[in-house]
Amino acid sequence: ICRGFSSSAVRAVVIKHVTIIGGGQMGSGIAQVAASTGHSVTLVDTSEDILKKSVKTIEGSLRRVVKKKFADKPEAGEEYVQKVLKNVSTSSDAGSAAQGTDLVLEAIVENLQVKQDLFSHLDKLAPAHTIFASNTSSLSISDIASSTSRLDRFGGLHFFNPVPMMKLVEVCGTSATSQETFDSLMNFSKELGKTPVSCKDTPGFIVNRLLVPYILEAYHLHERGHGSKEDVDIAMKLGAGYPMGPFELSDYIGLDTIKFILDGWRVMDPNNPSFAPSELLNKLVAEGKLGKKTGEGFYKYK
Ligand code: CAA
Ligand code: NAD
């Protein structure tokens, strides 16, 4: 699995077994893609019930993929689905899942303290060669890594929603990430069939630093009474060629995640008008209307 390492640095880890913590929208998507490309995956969440839902999501998404790929051969398609699912096991015990794995990739709630607590716990249990990575949308990788003693084996691996369809992965190395770790994360992204880009450890990396302020501007424009949600979405789709308008996309990302990003960035840059609170966003999150994943956000689903 590992082509030689010392206690302080890892060289060319070939990632075969991946432990993904968080079986929500992102974790289940990453698990699907990793399993589809021949990796063994252990998917971890807080309860067996959530994990059952995660596996159902993976199965549903795989069926969408095979419907096209195996259009004339439904039996071969079914065989493919079962083969991929065999590569996925589940666990509600992150500590034991981190033992004997090459990569621990975290896709849990967008909260620094919760991510630090998780990695600090796993740092004591995972093998020395194991790389840790975060799928954070907005937090500093160095801050998350500071809860561990493996700063050289820690990086950012940022996927996009829906993971099976979106081709990009942002790979982030901090000033302490070793070249070997960075290379391993780049190679892993390519093995998943994605196109990686290299990012600095700056808030939002590349995509979210540009995309999130645009989404927030849409909320402010709407709150000023300058356009309905529907018109803003139609305008950006038909006038700018975006596949989804900012309100639709917010529901797709998850309004809790957007609120975590906005609240965190306001602390970082309090005078930036883009990061001013949005009453509408706060109200929807307080009501548990988190977007597509809960059946309602800016719009209703089902
Ligand atoms: N699993 C498998 N296949 C899926 C899928 C999934 N979860 N979601 C969509 N697809 C497939 C469909 O099966 C369909 O395949 P075919 O063309 O082969 O039939 C194809 O994708 C298109 O789907 P739809 O016809 O249902 O819908 P669409 O054409 O509107 O595409 C979309 C859906 C790909 C999601 C598109 O609307 C899109 O690109 N939206 C923007 C998504 C985006 O910007 N994501 C980034 C969010 S920001 C982020 O992720 C970072 C962060 O940190 C917050
Ligand atoms: P989600 O709410 O769909 O899923 C999060 C999952 O993590 C839930 O199933 C929850 O039960 C689980 N969880 C929470 N704390 C946990 C813990 N301590 N141990 C194990 N499991 C735990 O969220 P998501 O949309 O999948 O986002 C997850 C992460 O990925 C966040 O950091 C988010 O910023 C980032 N991200 C999100 C998107 C997006 O578009 N939604 C895109 C890229 C990155």
Is there a cis peptide before residue 243, judged by omega within 30 degrees of 0? Answer: no
Mutation to probe ligand 2, out of 28, 30, 46, 114 (largest number of atoms < 8 A from CB):
46
Whether 17-199 shares its CATH topology with 208-294 is answered: no
Mutation to probe ligand 2, out of 19, 21, 25, 168 (largest number of atoms < 8 A from CB):
25
Token output for 216: 């927030």
pLDDT at 209 over 50: yes
Closest CA to 191 of 45, 4, 17, 22: 17
The answer to whether residues 72 and 26 touch, using CB atoms and an 8 Å cutoff, is no
CATH superfamily of 208-294: N-(1-d-carboxylethyl)-l-norvaline Dehydrogenase; domain 2 (1.10.1040.10)
Token output for 7: 């206690």
pLDDT value of residue 9: 45
Q: Give 4's pLDDT tier (boundaries 50, 70, 90).
A: very low
Please tell me the distance from the alpha carbon of residue 106 to that of residue 120, in angstroms, as a whole number: 12
In what helix (H) or strand (E) does residue 79 lie, and over which residues does it extend?
helix 74-86
The answer to whether residues 11 and 4 touch, using CB atoms and an 8 Å cutoff, is yes
Helix axes 229-240, 207-223, angle to 10 degrees: 140
Give the ipTM.
Answer: 0.97
> Strands across the sheet with 154-158, in order?
88-91, 40-44, 17-21, 103-106, 131-134, 154-158, 168-173, 195-199
Please tell me the distance from the alpha carbon of residue 48 to that of residue 28, in angstroms, as a whole number: 14
Query: pLDDT digit string (tens) for 239-255?
Result: 999 999 999 999 999 99
What is the CATH topology of the domain spanning 17-199?
Answer: Rossmann fold (3.40.50)
User: What are the domain boundaries of the chain?
Assistant: 17-199, 208-294
Query: pLDDT digit string (tens) for 260-290?
Result: 999 999 999 999 999 999 999 999 999 999 9
Residues with CB under 6 A from ligand 2: 21-27, 44-46, 50, 94, 107-110, 114, 118, 135-137, 159-161, 253-254, 257, 293
Nearest atom, ligand 2, residue 26 CA: 26
Query: pLDDT digit string (tens) for 60-107?
Result: 999 999 998 899 999 999 999 999 999 999 999 999 999 999 999 999
